[in-house]
Amino acid sequence: MLSPLDTLAERLGLPANSALLAVAVTHSSYAAEHDCSSNERLEFLGDAVVDLAVADLIVNEYPDLDEGSGSLVRARVVNEAALADAARRLDLGNYVRIGRGEVKSNGLERSSLLADAFEAIVAALYLEHGFDEAKSFVQSMLADEVAAASLSPDEVDPKTRLRQWSEAAGLGTPVYEVTSAGPAHATTFDATVTIGESVRATGHAKSKKSAETQAALAAWEGRHDA
């Protein structure tokens, strides 16, 4: 019977009993209590791998984006919030090892901790299988976010823009409701955005954040139709 960590290794395409994966899911607080290696060095390496993988995706899949727009898209995808969202889709919070203090402060809910763990497992993939494997993983996890950001690279994100408009118009703050469907490895999300009493738009994507972004963009584009 597979251990929980071996189950994660199988999902990621890493060997069972992967020493790299064990380090990747070890927070510094746990390492200090158990005299073992933390994931900080892997996180440092993974940060660079994620950055390059996303840049590669932008250059190859979005030829209409110039250097400036591509940089803006990358910045909106390679950040703590987006990487933590990817970590949550992988249920990394169920695998990361943290110290007693972090447990008491609900450390596994912190986006910074989860984003670091995501970068660390990317580094583990890179060291185990090379850049192409790590790149494919990163791009599969973040492609939806890149697609959403590429829709308006030079502007504020659609959710912020919609909120600013709705509040200025006296309609209140948009409310998002999200449902999910499908197995853990291929979950899809449907988002509905309501302003006041009216459902304005829906969005469908492979992450909660992207589904909300798609709904916000559709609501913004149809804001004068309601």
State the catalytic residues: 47, 119
Helical axes 40-61 vs 131-150, angle rounded to 10°: 60
Distance CA 129, CA 195 (A): 47
CA 7/CA 131 separation, integer angstroms: 22
- In DSSP notation, 124-155 reads HHHHHH-HHHHHHHHHHHHHHHHHHHHTSTTS
Phi then psi for 177, rounded to 5 degrees? -120, 130
Place of tokens 């988002």: 191
**Angle formed by the axes of helices 111-129 and 40-61, to 10°?**
80
Query: Residue 211 corresponds to which tokens in the numbers above?
Result: 């589904």
CB 11 within 8 A of CB 185: yes
